[in-house]
């Protein structure tokens, strides 16, 4: 089976850098995949993307060195299996509140007898290779998002669920949950303490931890703290920021 770049980064002891696609388009997916990132995450939760567009975007990512990931809209097994069948090598599940949801995530993404994933990896076979079935369970990365109060309170238990490789922090939702507002790069001491609790819990569990960041500099700061899956913002925000700055320059 084609290897997963993220697992290779982790085996080498370095943080994986993921592109993040909010724009539902194959061309921008290909551009982000060619930017030097280790993987690219198609965002089905908040991105302007549906499942049909996701399939084209995963095909576009296949033409790049990056490994395809998908953030699913919820812990719904049907959509998780669809993303995996379409060739996703990593799934990020938002708003995981408890062990039951984390276990449902694990079950839906492993084939029997370990889990309940139904067989039919049509595009997964094309992308992954003929031995997809043999290696899929071990090659797919599963990150449970911690971004709610119940999820934060249960973070140690969620990390203990076998088959979850790690957690992924959504700073905006976590800030909202703590009554501090949706700040992309939090500075509030309570939000920073919650993020630090998650980091320590992941380190203690020997599992991975990622975070969505507002820039490459913020991503580097978190990577220096031990975060090993970092996202230097998404395509739509980056396009918006660079264009706004260039337009300002053009106007002198
Ligand atoms: C959050 O910050 O809440 C996220 O989900 C980032 O994508
Ligand atoms: Mg979120």
135: domain CATH number? 3.20.20.60
pLDDT tens profile 152-195: 999 999 999 999 999 999 999 999 999 999 999 999 999 999 99
Check residue 2 and give its pLDDT. 97
Check residue 161 and give its pLDDT. 98
Check residue 46 and give its pLDDT. 98
Check residue 19 and give its pLDDT. 98
Tell me which residue range forms the domain holding 80.
Answer: 5-250
pLDDT tens profile 195-229: 999 999 999 999 999 999 999 999 999 999 999 99
The Cα 114–Cα 154 span in angstroms is 23
Which atom belonging to ligand 1 lies closest to the Cα atom of 172? Answer: 2
Q: Among this protein's residues, is 110 annotated catalytic?
A: no
User: Among candidates 231, 167, 160, 232, which has minimal Cα distance to 198?
Assistant: 167
Span 135-155, mean pLDDT?
A: 98
Catalytic residue chosen out of the listed positions 46, 135, 208, 234: 46
Which atom belonging to ligand 1 lies closest to the Cα atom of 184? Answer: 2
Which atom belonging to ligand 1 lies closest to the Cα atom of 212? Answer: 6
Task: Return mean pLDDT, the chain.
Answer: 98
The number of domains in the chain is: 1
Give the global pTM: 0.98
CA angle 48-97-175, nearest 5°? 65
Q: Which ligand is nearest to the CA of 171?
A: 1
Check residue 96 and give its pLDDT. 98
Is the C-beta atom of 168 inside 6 A of ligand 1? no
**Number of neighbouring beta carbons within 10 Å of residue 133:** 14
Contact 174, 194 (CB under 8 A): yes
CA 155 from centroid of its chain's CA atoms = 17
> What b/e readout covers 198-235, taking b as 16+ CB neighbours within 10 angstroms?
bbebbeebebbbbbbbbeeebbeebbeeebbbbbbbbb
CB-proximal residues (5 Å) to ion ligand 2:
147, 170, 173
Distance 171 CA to ligand 1 centre (A): 6
User: Among candidates 91, 113, 78, 111, which has minimal Cα distance to 41?
Assistant: 91
CA 45 from centroid of its chain's CA atoms = 11
CA 251 from centroid of its chain's CA atoms = 38
Calculated CA dihedral for residues 169, 73, 101, 154, nearest 10 degrees = 20
Span 110-124, mean pLDDT?
A: 97
Check residue 97 and give its pLDDT. 98
Contact 146, 169 (CB under 8 A): yes
């Amino acid at each position: 089976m084609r290897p997963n770049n993220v697992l290779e980064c982790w085996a080498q002891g370095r943080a994986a850098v993921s592109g993040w696609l909010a724009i539902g388009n194959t061309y921008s997916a290909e551009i982000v995949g060619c930017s030097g990132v280790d993987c690219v995450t198609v965002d089905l939760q908040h991105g302007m993307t549906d499942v049909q567009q996701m399939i084209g975007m995963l095909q576009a990512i296949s033409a790049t060195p990056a490994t395809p990931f998908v953030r699913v809209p919820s812990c719904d097994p049907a959509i998780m299996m669809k993303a995996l069948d379409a060739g996703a090598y990593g799934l990020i599940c938002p708003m995981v509140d408890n062990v039951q949801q984390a276990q449902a995530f694990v079950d839906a993404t492993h084939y029997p007898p370990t889990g309940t994933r139904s067989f039919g990896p049509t595009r997964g076979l094309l992308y992954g290779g003929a031995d997809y079935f043999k290696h899929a369970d071990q090659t797919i990365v599963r990150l449970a998002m911690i971004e709610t109060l119940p999820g934060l309170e249960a973070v140690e238990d969620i990390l203990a669920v076998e088959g979850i490789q790690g957690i992924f922090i959504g700073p905006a939702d976590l800030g909202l949950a703590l009554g501090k507002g949706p700040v992309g790069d939090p500075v509030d001491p309570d939000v920073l303490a919650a993020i630090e609790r998650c980091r320590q819990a992941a380190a203690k569990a020997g599992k991975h931890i990622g975070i969505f960041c507002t820039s490459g500099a913020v991503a580097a700061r978190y990577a220096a703290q031990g975060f090993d899956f970092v996202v230097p913002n998404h395509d739509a925000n980056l396009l918006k920021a660079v264009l706004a700055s260039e337009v300002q320059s053009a106007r002198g």
